[in-house]
Amino acid sequence: MNIVSTYTWCQFTPAFALVGLAALLILADALLPRLPKRIYAFVGAMGTFVAAYFLATGEQTDIFGFIAAIATGLSILLAFDYTKISCESIAGSGNEEGTGEFYALPLVACAGILCLTQARDLVMLFVSLEVITLTSYVLAGYFRRNQGSIEAGIKYLVLGAMSTGVLVYGTAWYFGMVGSFNLGSDVVVSAMKGGVAGSPVLAFGFMMATALLFAGSFFKIGAAPMHVWIPDVYQGAPTPTTAFLAVASKTAGFVVLCSLALPFAPFVVPGSVVGKLLVWCFALVAAATLLIGNLGAMRQTNMKRLLGYSSIGQAGFILVFFLTLNGPVVFMVSKYLLAYALATIAAFFAVAMVRTQRGSEEIAAFRGLGKTNPRTAFLITVCFASLAGVPLTLGFLVKMYSFVAIITAMESWCCICWLLPIMVITAATGFYYYFKVIRAMYWEKAAPGAQPLQVPLCTGIVLTICVLALIYLGTMPLLLQA
């Protein structure tokens, strides 16, 4: 029997390197108990940055992998600044016992994302997706002395495993209808016509399989109605893990969605019934996601929960790109993800800093930062302004692309024009809840006796770089065209 592989080993070099590094760190954790754990965080973060460098300069630029690797590295650096809380919540006392894996596991998850970006069939897709989710379950429940963390871990595990079950069942039916696990336009087009025999049963089974697969991938990106886990898990999980879930894991979700949706591009032409159905489905999911994410965020007082709802809302804007499947979807989605990643990671750094020094993750803990730490407050302001979409930041630019996408899509499908007002309204509500944080910093008085925050080294550097990138790329939009 002839075994033909569609993959080469060197495609996975960065992933192998990261897994090797993670194994080394876990071994070191077991064998060298005296070594300060912060070294692991530093080494791990450097490893992901090196991987990101090779991904960006390699033969085929892997833009999703690049964003995910950078985001993982930054969330490990966030863990570096978060050691005080980590030690309290893991070992119970001030010592570092058992915190080593917390810095090594994100590397494994990152390797999963890098494999995912290379996947061209459902087996690879499923296995690498599971590498990411299984690691995330551990990371979400890692603070075992913290009630919220355990609860977040269990909720994520139950809902995540359910979505895995749905995805796998879809995969099984996909195989049954097509006869292979390949994801390609030719396979999809032939299956939608009922295969060689042209049987309607086969086409129907294939549609069911695709629906199950899409449902599984919607869970990862937090699209309605599979968003219910996001606020709880984001609030309960350790802040570095939340940052990882919000950016790297969401990138993985969009990689899955892209590889599932792009083979359907030949159907998205005027007059095609399948195309109309697909566009309607994406429009409905995008509208529900936008409304739930943005309206839900309005009444939040906890920062991590607010950022959770914000991530649902931003996913809604990204989903709009999928209405123009024949256009440059991957490019647009990665651009939006980049803007979202820069601002969100910086916001989580700010949350972690306030949590470490003021002991609270509520928006109220940000009060008076404009007085006590004017520079930091300005950096945080730019991040939230970019998330809201204020002009001259990258956030405005990508949100505008999202609006361009819906207007382009309306030219061929005028039946989805109701999505445009929904987008306008939800973008406007974004200004309300992101500016709640900015208002707390500048217009509300700090609690009596509030000390200025000491900005930790990594937090300062990352906040500055993210803000500079957001403003620079936002004022020079042509830089991102290349």
Partner 1 sequence: MIPLAHYLILSGILFSIGLAGVLIRKNIIVVFMCLEMMLTASNVALVAFSRAQGTAGVPVYDAQVLSLFITGIAAAEVAIGLALIVAMFRARRTVESSALNSLKD
As a whole number of angstroms, the distance between CA 49 and CA 45 comes to: 6
Which of 65, 216, 231, 368 is the binder for partner 1 (CB under 8 A)?
231
Q: How far is the CB of 235 from partner 1 (least distance, A)?
A: 5
Question: Does residue 6 bind partner 1 (CB under 8 A)?
Answer: no
Q: Which positions from 297 through 316 interact with partner 1, judged by CB under 8 A? A: 299-300, 305
Question: Does residue 106 bind partner 1 (CB under 8 A)?
Answer: no
Question: Does residue 341 bind partner 1 (CB under 8 A)?
Answer: no
As a whole number of angstroms, the distance between CA 310 and CA 430 comes to: 8
Cβ neighbors of 388 (< 8 A, separation 6 or more) are 395, 430, 431, 434, 435
Question: Does residue 235 bind partner 1 (CB under 8 A)?
Answer: yes
Cα dihedral 354, 360, 361, 363 sign: negative
Phi, psi of 3 (to 5 degrees): -105, 115
Question: Does residue 360 bind partner 1 (CB under 8 A)?
Answer: no
Q: How far is the CB of 305 from partner 1 (least distance, A)?
A: 8
Question: Does residue 214 bind partner 1 (CB under 8 A)?
Answer: no
**Which region, judged by CB under 8 A, interacts with partner 1, from 14-22, 35-43, 96-104, 228-236?**
228-236
Question: Does residue 436 bind partner 1 (CB under 8 A)?
Answer: no
Closer by beta carbon to partner 1, 180 or else 408: 180
Binding string to partner 1 for residues 174 to 203, with x set by CB under 8 A, is what?
Answer: -xx--xxx----------------------
Alpha carbon of 473 to those of 158, 318, 338, 397, 470: distances in Å?
A: 40, 18, 10, 9, 6
As a whole number of angstroms, the distance between CA 140 and CA 219 comes to: 16
As a whole number of angstroms, the distance between CA 354 and CA 361 comes to: 7
Burial class from Cβ neighbours inside 10 Å (0-12, 13-18, 19+) for residue 31 reads: exposed
Which of 66, 103, 137, 366 is the binder for partner 1 (CB under 8 A)?
137
Cβ neighbors of 274 (< 8 A, separation 6 or more) are 192, 264, 267
Question: Does residue 162 bind partner 1 (CB under 8 A)?
Answer: yes
**Which 3 state secondary structure label does DSSP give 135?**
helix
Give the interface with partner 1 as residue ranges (CB under 8 A): 122-123, 126-127, 130, 134, 137-138, 141, 144, 147-148, 150-155, 157-158, 161-162, 164-166, 168-169, 171-173, 175-176, 179-181, 231-232, 235-236, 296, 299-300, 305
